[in-house]
Amino acid sequence: MANFLDNIFFIFQRLSWLSLLDILLVTLIFFVLLYSLRDTQAMVLLRGVIFLVVALVLLTTLVELPAFSWLITNALPALLLSIPVIFAPEIRRALERLGRAGSFSPTAKQIPYADMQQVISAVVEASARLSARQHGALIVVQRMDSLEQYMETGVKMGAKVTPELLLQIFYPDTPLHDGAVIVADGQIIAAACVLPLSASGILNRSPERQMGLRHRAALGISEVSDAVAIVISEQSGSISIAHAGRMIRRIDPSRLENILVAFFRPDTTTPQRVWLQRFFPYLFQRKDK
């Protein structure tokens, strides 16, 4: 016990502010890496890679196997080079998030909150009526990040947001019902837009694994931007909302309105908080009342 305490004191005596900074930077890198890979298929691959490395290290350390140790030693550089290939989608997503976080000013134009309240009311009313009729729908409301590249995939509209127009767009078998409606600057900018599908494992672990493309697209657009996506299921008529790679299922219209109001009410935050909120959205999600 005395030797153990002496070793602990010896370690603390050798610590300096540079050593603490070194440890902090390494810890931060691992935290950002694991945070970026959370709830993705890459986390399963990462567990497999860690298990394989630990097993190989133990095997080559505890048992004397010269030929096997030589093979592992020479194959290790190739394994390290394969990591960027295996985790390419996750690395790209993390760099995109870092690029969005690097901008302190929002890329999307802010509209008066009174106009935003009218948009929210129209979206909530349309969602309630679509849910009652069991008409599938996907409505994406832009926040700070621009969705211009996804608007280009659809039909440009530039129309006022009204429940009647949303009902007409998502009426079954109409030309614009298949795809997403993007709402920005208080208008319906485009309809029948194509969105990226989710690459995470959240939907695979949910009780209902057979979700349609609308739910996967809603989760996908929330993973690559800070937009809010509202989904109405065509099978059950249930309303869901997705943001920051998370989805809340089976919400009623009143709760949907509370969530949208919480997202779009005026918020006075410092630039530092805005940067952190855009890179770590899960830590700053508002709770709906």
Q: Mind listing the pLDDT tens digit for each residue in 224-276?
A: 888 999 999 998 899 999 998 888 989 999 999 999 999 988 764 444 454 45
List 85's β-bridge partners, or say none.
none
The highest-confidence range among 75-79, 123-127, 197-201, by mean pLDDT, is 123-127
Confidence band of 150 (pLDDT split at 50, 70, 90) = very high
Please give the pLDDT value at position 89. Answer: 64
Q: Determine contact, residues 191/179, Cβ cutoff 8 Å.
A: yes
Average pLDDT (21-37) is: 80
Give the pLDDT band (50/70/90) at residue 127.
Answer: very high
Q: Find the mean pLDDT for residues 14-33.
A: 82
The CA distances from residue 53 to 30, 38, 65, 109, 172, in Å, are 17, 20, 16, 49, 52
pLDDT score for 84: 74
How are beta strands 187-193 and 228-232 bridged, if at all?
Answer: unpaired
**Statement: residue 280 has pLDDT above 90:** no
> Residues of the chain with pLDDT > 90: what percent?
35
Arithmetic mean of pLDDT, 28-32? 82
Range scoring the smallest mean pLDDT among 55-59, 68-72, 175-179, 201-205: 201-205
Rounded mean pLDDT, 156-184 = 94
What is the pLDDT averaged over residues 20-38? 80
Q: Of 57-66, 93-102, 178-187, where does the model show the most confidence?
A: 178-187
pLDDT tens, 70-113? 887 787 777 777 777 766 666 666 666 666 555 544 545 567 88
Average pLDDT, the chain: 79
Q: DSSP string covering the chain, please?
A: -HHHHHHHHHHHHH--HHHHHHHHHHHHHHHHHHHHHTTBHHHHHHHHHHHHHHHHHHHHHHS--HHHHHHHHHHHHHHHHHHHHHTHHHHHHHHHHHHHHT-SS-SSPP--HHHHHHHHHHHHHHHHHHHHHT--EEEEE--SS--HHHHTTSEEEEEE--HHHHHHHTSTTSTTSSSEEEEETTEEEEEEE--PPP-BSHHHHSS-----HHHHHHHHHHHHSS-EEEEE-TTT--EEEEETTEEEEEE-HHHHHHHHHHHHS-----HHHHHHHHHSGGGGPPPP-
Query: Residue range 130-139: average pLDDT?
Result: 95
Domains contained in the chain, CATH given: 2-101 (no CATH), 113-267+276-284 (3.40.1700.10)
